[in-house]
Structure 1
Amino acid sequence: MTLPEIILIEVVIGAVLIIVALSWIRRISVRNHSVAPLIKEHFYPLPTSEITITERTFPLRVRADLQIAIDQLLSDKKEIKHFCGVRSGFDHQGVTLSSCIIQNKHNPIVTTPPSFEEVNIGAEQPVRVLKTGLWLLEKEGINFVAFLTPANNFGQITGVELHVGAPNTPEGTRITQDFFKHLEQSIQQAKSYRGKVLSLEKQKHSYSGESKGIAVHQLRDVPRDQVILPEKTLELLERNVIHFVQQRERLAQFKQSTKKGILFYGPPGTGKTHTIHFLSHALQEHTTLLISAEQVGMLDEYMTLARLLQPSIVVLEDVDLIARNRRDMNSACEEVLLNKLLNEMDGLKPDSDILFILTTNRPETLEAALASRPGRVDQAIEFPLPDINGRRKLIQLYSEGVIVKDVVIEEILRRTEGVSAAFIKELMRRAVQFHVERDGTGEVSIEDVTNALDEMLVTGGSLNLKLLGATDIANSDYTL
């Protein structure tokens, strides 16, 4: 045998020995970090075959409240004997407490440092939420375990599972039931999102890297004196929304329904969304859920959240996009969305503290089953174009930072009959912009207003008039 052949054989033998050694080291490492012996030792001398495992699955969107509830429940550090993260070689298949107990050399489940993600709940600091974790616990001399893991459906995370394993005895059953009972009570309070303005998001993460799912909106505070509506309209609004909410408890005592549906209708730019901001500010103890027309497919999720967080306000803007007359629908899918909305409004219990607010610019196109049936929409409130007094108040509201003399206000009123509130807001901004461009001293002149009106009503053409809510002016002989 030649020297090169001898060297080659020695290299091969050395490589084989290294592979065998690494395999043994890996097996020893896995054995030392395996979850199964840890659980068996925790329950010793009770065999793991005498353990009962109970599972609960929670919606993924409430994982922040679930984490807060777990932290509160396990605040007594004396109960925690050991805590760790858990990892499987096949995480995409999901990990259960049962699989943690059974040793599998082909798919070992091992302990790891705990892994967290940060969930934005609209507070100063996000909530640190555990992704997967195992607690070895002891209470009243009885050992039990709790295991948190993502609910997995073919690699897609659909919720959060909590498994509790305890001895199959009356005492063990009681501990499990108490554990879930306290957890459920804490989650029902839903402190993370209660009283806030929310919408659901399909995006899992924001650009900050924080996990979302539920977006918390910071709407501007709108006091009552900034809601510019005819006095009768404002009284109707307050009686059917604010006073109704204040009298709910008394109404319930007389066996009256505490749910309600309101329809806001009127031309674009007349203050429907602005009024919703006012109601959100006036009813701060209510949770407000904002649903856009394209999110109606998620209506069941919204309503589940509304029931959990009641008293709540469910706002569906531009409802005519999904609730128009069936004769005008182009596909069966549109009718499915309409039926889903009707079923959700019908399915509310009479004692539900849920207020539906629907908005539309085209009430004549609405399906009669929605707009003409009491119990779904209980009151329609018209948002008309502002009259002369309304326009005067709007001018004063949107010129707060500058001086506008009475003569200028009167000139604006003369030239803006038939415009929307949104038009007045934009007019004042452009007038101030013209004022700034000529290095003004803080007093808006008639020249500034004339330049702004010229740009909005003449230069932009008829389409611009419609976009700015000045259709009536477009149909009249407007002159500067």
Structure 2
Amino acid sequence: MTNDFDVSAFAVQFQKFLDTMSEIAERPDRDAFESELGRHLGASPRSLDPVRQEFPQWRWVDVDTALDSLSATQVLRGVVPAGDPDGLSEILSNQYGNYSLGSVDRKALPSGPGEVKHVATNAIRLVKIDGEPVIAFATEADSPNQEGSIAVEVLSADPAVSRGVLSRIDAHVREQSALRLQVVSFVASHYGSEHGDIRFHPRPQISRGDVILPEGSLKRIEASVLGVSENAAALREAGQHLSRGILLFGPPGTGKTHTVRYLLSRAADTTAIVLNGDSLGHIRQASEAARELGRAIIVLEDADLVAADRDFSEGERSILFDVLDILDGLAEDADIAFVLTTNRVGVLEEALALRPGRIDLAVEIPLPDLELRRRLFARYGNSLPFTERGIEQAAEAAAGTTGSFAKEAVRRAVLNALALHEDVADTHLITAVNALVSEADELRDAMAQDAEDHELSEED
């Protein structure tokens, strides 16, 4: 009997069978998403089109809170690997078997002063809205619209339901923002994105008596920043605009930032956004947030930086012009105050001259005169046994110093007394004032000499 069985051919085919079975065993179930999501929706999710909206990166906490609010009983399933898919369509097609169902990844993000929220960054949410099964998904996504955005997608058997749920999410993000009534700042992103991260700060607690300025200055500032908000309803009824720009200018250390902190302490019913240093470039994000939050104060500290530094410019146009354009473009009923501070008002003159009327009030915060210095020493030394004569002598000896000088002098006086194991007295205060004045003179001389040496070196 002839044996036609080819052992070699069988071995080749059997090895192919084993390889195929091994590949299938190791490959993630490409239908896992369709099976579970389909059971929830009652329809094949691949046959449905999700609706999508993008939010800025700094809105992650607000987006996650809005998604949590959709239902108290929702099932979260993680997409593994996290952070890769651009949306539900890519996950559902799972063309190369890259994605599988797994655990939910969370990232701690600030949600208030000293508070964090653990945001779900890869979660598909299975929820029911008014009895209708809905799927919601949020993920980080780069898009042509805005770099580093948060993409939110909603999927249901009824497109009208999907659109309604997405509209509900958007409204919650805007109306229930974690930024509302907080003091926040934008900080440069770790990844170099133009969309800054958010940092929350405790609201300052400064009394009116702690702000010592020339007669009438603080009253004018309060009227412009706080008074407009207090009379917002009447001003709107009279057809008057609410948006305004206020400029505080003067030498360093005279109390500009201290004055701003006082305004923020008074405005507990107002969101405050503070920009300084690298974060000055985030003025667009700040103004966008302010528009959504309603009543707001946007503080730009050292605004001369955005007027003079090329790093804060787009081509030949300074960001300061954008600030003034934003002021000009605000709706008349927008209760938003821009408070700018600067040590070098001359740098701002060109921009302000080209945009007349954008700054409603400019107030100089000068070096304190004798009477203001006396009040400053009395304020910072009010818990110590200084005499009126000692306060007067200290004020006279501190001619030409800044508003912050008195606070440091009182502190130095206490340190001197402790070092000598003595009760603090007028003599310690006068000694501290003289020493600080002398040190300041020496520093100025050294800086002048260094500048002269540098100039000679360049000439050589």
Say if 1:439 and 1:351 are closer, same or farther in 2 by CA, change over 3 A: same
3-state SS of paired residue (2:205) = coil
The match for 1:96 is 87
Counterpart for residue 445 of structure 1? 426
SS in 2 for 1:52: coil
What amino acid maps onto 1:231 in structure 2? Answer: E
Q: Which moved more, 1:248-257 or 1:356-365?
A: 356-365
Equivalent in the alignment of 1:384 = 366
The match for 2:438 is 458
Structure 1 residues 357 and 213, CA gap change in structure 2 (3 angstroms): same
Q: Give the alignment of 1:385-404 within 5 angstroms.
A: 385-404=367-386
Q: Give the CA deviation at 1:49.
A: 5.3
Given that residues 33 and 100 in structure 2 are in contact (C-alpha distance below 8 angstroms), is that contact kept between their aligned partners in structure 1?
Answer: yes
String of CA shifts for 1:332-384, please: whole Å, max 9, x gaps: 74633233223222221212111011111222332344257443101111212
Cα displacement (A) at 1:22: 4.5
* Whole-angstrom CA distance in 2 between matches of 1:322 and 1:141: 53
Q: Does 1:83 align with 2:76?
A: yes
CA distance in 2, matches of 1:96, 1:331: 35
* Shift in alpha-carbon separation, 1:272–1:98, aligned structure 2, 3 A: same
Q: Is the 8 A contact 2:281 2:312 kept in 1?
A: no
What is residue 120 of structure 1 aligned with on the other side? 110
Which residue number in structure 1 is paired with residue 7 of structure 2? none
Alpha-carbon deviations, 1:256-312, whole Å to 9, x = none?
Answer: 101011111122211110000000000111111111143332221121122122311
| Aligned residue number for residue 209 of structure 2 | 225
Instruction: Describe the shift of the 1:114–1:466 C-alpha distance in structure 2 as closer, same or farther (beyond 3 A).
Output: same
Partners of 1:332 and 1:160 lie apart in 2 by 26
Change (3 A) 1:386 1:298: same
> How many angstroms apart in 1 are the aligned matches of 2:397 and 2:94?
83
One-letter amino acid matched to 1:336: S
Could you give the per-residue CA deviations for residues 163-219 of structure 1, whole angstroms, max 9, x where no partner exists? 11122xxxx2332232122212211124411111111122449xxxxxx92011225
Does the 8 Å contact 1:59/1:159 carry over to 2?
Answer: yes
Equivalent residue, structure 2, for 1:53:
50
Instruction: Indicate if the aligned counterparts of 2:48 and 2:155 stay in contact, CA closer than 8 A.
Output: yes
Is 1:261 matched up with 2:259?
A: no
Q: Mind listing any 5+ residue stretches in structure 2 that lack a counterpart?
A: 1-12, 448-460
CA deviations on 1:60-91 (whole Å, 9 max, x unpaired) are 1011111111111222x2xx4x43011259x5
Change (3 A) 1:466 1:43: same
* Cα deviation, residue 410, structure 1: 2.0
Q: Distance in 1 between matches of 2:140 and 2:312?
A: 40
Residues 123-142 of structure 1 show CA distances to partners (whole Å, capped at 9, x for unaligned) of 45411111011123344554
Q: Which residue of 2 aligns with 1:62?
A: 59
Aligned partner letter, 1:146: A
Displacement, 1:50? 4.1
Q: How far apart in 1 are the matches of 2:130 and 2:293? A: 34
CA 1:116–1:425 in structure 2 vs 1: closer, same or farther (change >3 Å)? same
Q: Which residue number in structure 2 is paired with residue 23 of structure 1? A: 23
RMSD: 3.2
TM-score (norm 1): 0.81
Asked if residue 311 in structure 1 is aligned to residue 295 in structure 2, the reply is: yes
**Which amino acid in 2 is paired with 1:196?**
Q
Per the alignment, do residues 358 and 53 of structure 1 end up closer, same or farther by CA in structure 2, a change over 3 Å counting? same
CA shift, 1:32, in A, is: 8.2
Would the aligned equivalents of 1:260 and 1:375 in 2 still touch at CA under 8 Å?
A: no
Q: Contact between 1:288 and 1:313, CA under 8 Å: does it hold in 2?
A: yes
Q: Distance in 1 between matches of 2:184 and 2:312?
A: 31
How has the CA–CA distance of structure 1 residues 333 and 401 changed in structure 2, closer, same or farther, with 3 Å as cutoff?
A: farther
CA apart distance, 1:255: 0.7
Equivalent residue number for residue 259 of structure 2: 275
Letter in 1 for 2:173: I
Task: Determine whether 1:287 maps to 2:271.
Answer: yes
Q: Which residue of 1 aligns with 2:37?
A: 39
Aligned to 1:429: 411
Residue among 165, 169, 185 paired with 2:155:
165
Task: Select which of 168, 180, 187 maps to 2:173.
Answer: 187
2:243 and 2:337 in contact (8 A); partners too = yes
Provide, for residues 373-420 of structure 1, a one-character-per-residue CA deviation record: whole Å limited to 9, x for no partner. Answer: 443101111212223332222112212442212221121122123322
Question: Cα gap change, 1:149/1:85 in structure 2, threshold over 3 Å: closer, same or farther?
Answer: same
Contact 2:187-2:279 within 8 A present in 1 as well: no
Q: How many residues align?
A: 431
Relative to structure 1, the CA distance from residue 259 to residue 228 in structure 2 (aligned partners, 3 Å threshold; closer, same or farther) is same
Structure-2 change in CA distance of 1:368 and 1:399 (3 Å): same
Contact 1:289–1:313, Cα closer than 8 Å, also in 2: yes
Letter in 1 for 2:389: V
CA contact (8 A) 1:88 1:95 kept: no
Instruction: Give the C-alpha shift of residue 462 in structure 1.
Output: 4.5
Alignment of 1:135 with 2:125, yes or no, is yes
Q: Give yes or no for contact 2:377–2:410 (8 Å, CA) kept in 1.
A: yes
Query: In the aligned structure 2, how far is the partner of 1:398 from the partner of 1:112?
Result: 60
What CA distance in whole angstroms lies between the structure 1 residues aligned with 2:269 and 2:220?
A: 21
Q: Distance in 2 between matches of 1:372 and 1:135?
A: 52
Q: Could you list the per-position Cα deviations for residues 85-106 of structure 1 after superposition, in whole angstroms to 9, with x for gaps in the alignment?
A: 11259x54x33211232242x2
Counterpart CA distance in 1 for 2:203 and 2:131 is 51
* Matched-pair contact (CA < 8 Å) for 2:134–2:155: yes
Asked whether 1:144 is paired with 2:134, we answer yes
2:5 is aligned to none
CA separation of 1:147 and 1:140: change in aligned 2, threshold 3 A: same
Decide whether the 8 Å contact of 2:187 with 2:278 is kept in 1: no
Q: Which amino acid aligns with 2:25?
A: I
Change over 3 Å in CA distance of 1:265–1:218 after alignment to 2: same
Partner of 1:249: 233
